[in-house]
Amino acid sequence: MEQLKENGQVSVIDLSETLDVSEVTIRKDLKTLEERDLLFRTHGGASQDNPYAGEKTLRDKEVISIPQKSKIAQFAANMISDDDSIIMASGTSVTALARSLHPNRRLTVITSALNVAMELINYPQVEVLQLGGTLRHNSSSVVGPYAEMILQDVACNLLFMGVDGIDLEVGLTTTSLPEARLNQKMIDVARKVIVLADSSKFGRRGMAKICKLEEVDEIITNEGVSPKVVNRLEEMGIKVTVAQ
Tell me: pLDDT of 205 over 90.
no
Q: How much is the pLDDT for 59?
A: 60
Tell me: pLDDT of 149 over 60.
yes
The pTM score is: 0.79
Q: How much is the pLDDT for 56?
A: 56
Count Cβ atoms below 10 Å from residue 111 Cβ, excluding itself.
26
Tell me: pLDDT of 95 over 80.
yes
Tell me: pLDDT of 63 over 60.
no
d(C-alpha 208, C-alpha 203), whole Å: 15
Q: How confident is the model at residue 230 (pLDDT cuts 50, 70, 90)?
A: very high
Lowest mean pLDDT among 33-37, 46-50, 101-105, 221-225: 46-50
Tell me: pLDDT of 49 over 80.
no
97: helix, strand or coil: helix
Mean pLDDT score, 36-40: 85
Q: How much is the pLDDT for 138?
A: 82
Tell me: pLDDT of 85 over 60.
yes
Distances (CA, A) of 92 to 178, 223, 237: 18, 18, 26
What pairing do the DSSP bridges indicate for beta strands 171-174 and 156-162? unpaired
Q: How confident is the model at residue 57 (pLDDT cuts 50, 70, 90)?
A: low
**Taking the domain 58-242, which CATH number applies?**
3.40.50.1360
Mean pLDDT score, 85-111: 93
Q: Do the beta carbons of residue 40 and residue 50 sit within 8 Å?
A: yes
E-assigned strands of 131-184? 134-136, 141-143, 156-162, 165-167, 171-174
Q: How much is the pLDDT for 4?
A: 84
Q: How confident is the model at residue 46 (pLDDT cuts 50, 70, 90)?
A: confident
93 vs 67: which has the higher pLDDT: 93
Q: How much is the pLDDT for 218?
A: 98
Q: How much is the pLDDT for 58?
A: 60
d(C-alpha 212, C-alpha 44), whole Å: 17
Sign of CA dihedral 181, 213, 186, 104: positive
Lowest mean pLDDT among 45-59, 108-122, 225-239: 45-59
Q: How much is the pLDDT for 54?
A: 57
Mean pLDDT score, 21-41: 90
